[in-house]
Amino acid sequence: MRRLYSHPADKGLYGIFNDSFPPILDGVTTTVVNYVHWLKESGRTPCVVTPWNPESRDYPYHVMQFFSLPIRSRKPYRYGYPKLDPFIWKRLRDTDFRLIHSHCPFSSGRLGVYVKKHQHIPLIGTFHSKYRADLEHSFKLMPWCVPIIMKRILNFFNACDEVWIPQAQVEETVREYGYKGPLTVVENGNDFASIIEGDLFRYKLEAKRRLGFQDDAIDLLFVGQHIWEKGIRTILEALTLLKGRVNFRMNFIGTGYARDEMSKIIKETGLQDRVKLNGVITDRRALSDYYAASDLFIFPSFYDNAPLVVREAAAMGTPAILIEGSTASEVVSDRRNGFLARSNPREFADLITTLATDIDLLHDVARGARDTLVRSWEDVVGEVTDRYDVILKNFQKK
């Protein structure tokens, strides 16, 4: 029987399991891609397990896919159905894994539990998202499904040997879902950390010129899924209030179920000459230019736990406006490395109006964000591999 082995010195593959992988792009996918890249760079042998995607590409590492179907309410996401895949179970049994790290509790997470039980290896689960909010949107017509699936999510985390969270305040959500075990904080990294060399604001000005932005407006940015849960309606209402007060430009980058309605609102409120929906930008260097060319990152989301986009913006010298008391705002001190406001469009509009004329404050906070919120993925995954080694050592002692 042929088995898929890693490098002999590695004694097994590091299984990185997740329900999304490029070409799908979001914060968790970015995390997984960087885990796999830096694991490979460190001499480990990663293996990604993820649902099949018709736009799959060639990857510089092993990717094992299983049967999936599109999620109509959350395009372009897909849901994996391993029970309908007659081959994935044998492929997993025949693959020599050393450790499993699942970044999702759904289909890929259940496969992680399966491998853990059959190969008697440690399983780590990272709690990335507020899953209940996703489920409540996806099952609007069948709300009775939500508690059933939430129970499965809890069962997944209870099956893990360690549960990781990306920042301390996420513990509140995990406990709310019913998980009572220990938690380990492992931060997310940033692949824009080393782009800017030299003067920050000269680089930002050059980025504005590369994108054709003029110097007579304050440039605002949102990057992420275009879903109402992320506070996009607050942004649109704040932009409407800014008309006639501030010369601004707003760029939205991403896609999601709310995009069509957003476009309609933008036209109805006469914002089409100031607001642009750019769609998904897959070129990371091009995306970094949008971050750098912007003056403020607008992110009024209660939905997110530890959004990568806030740290990506900080790496390019663009501080974020976040909602007071949101999980995402835990890492931000108001007017030191970001700005905090209540979940109120008028308060967002007033703050943007103030900052449009207080360039010194904006620059001070931009430096603070870059100094305090930016950590490279190479550094983060270095910490992760050290943690993997300790987990493996302790697991062997059991």
358 and 303, same structural domain? Answer: yes
**Mean pLDDT for the stretch of residues 320-340:** 94
352 and 384, same structural domain? Answer: no
pLDDT of residue 291: 98
pLDDT of residue 344: 93
Q: Is pLDDT above 80 for 119?
A: yes
Q: Is pLDDT above 60 for 136?
A: yes
pLDDT of residue 398: 62
pLDDT of residue 4: 43
In a domain, 194, yes or no: no
pLDDT of residue 304: 86
pLDDT, the chain, mean: 92
222 and 289, same structural domain? Answer: yes
pLDDT of residue 79: 92
pLDDT per residue as tens digits for the range 305-317: 889 999 999 999 9
pLDDT per residue as tens digits for the range 6-20: 443 446 899 999 999
**Mean pLDDT for the stretch of residues 142-160:** 93
207 and 92, same structural domain? Answer: no
| Residue 152 belongs to domain with CATH number | 3.40.50.2000
Model confidence band, residue 2 (pLDDT cutoffs 50, 70, 90) = very low
In a domain, 8, yes or no: no
pLDDT per residue as tens digits for the range 59-84: 999 999 999 999 887 778 899 999 99
Q: Is pLDDT above 90 for 350?
A: yes
pLDDT of residue 271: 96
111 and 76, same structural domain? Answer: yes
387 and 336, same structural domain? Answer: no
pLDDT of residue 11: 66
In a domain, 123, yes or no: yes
Q: What percent of the chain has pLDDT over 90?
A: 82
In a domain, 177, yes or no: yes
34 and 131, same structural domain? Answer: yes
357 and 279, same structural domain? Answer: yes
pLDDT of residue 1: 32
Q: What is the pTM of this model?
A: 0.88
**Mean pLDDT for the stretch of residues 334-362:** 96
pLDDT of residue 8: 38
358 and 339, same structural domain? Answer: yes
171 and 79, same structural domain? Answer: yes
Domain that holds residue 80: 13-189+377-397
**Mean pLDDT for the stretch of residues 156-179:** 94
Q: Is pLDDT above 90 for 155?
A: yes
In a domain, 7, yes or no: no
In a domain, 195, yes or no: no
Q: Is pLDDT above 50 for 127?
A: yes
Q: What percent of the chain has pLDDT over 70?
A: 97
pLDDT of residue 7: 40
166 and 20, same structural domain? Answer: yes
Domain count, the chain: 2
pLDDT per residue as tens digits for the range 18-57: 999 998 888 999 999 999 999 999 999 999 999 999 987 8
In a domain, 154, yes or no: yes
Of 283, 284, 243, 285, nearest in space to 266 by CA: 243
What is the C-alpha R_g of the chain? 22
CA distances for 317 relative to 147, 204, 339, angstroms: 42, 8, 14
pLDDT of residue 74: 77
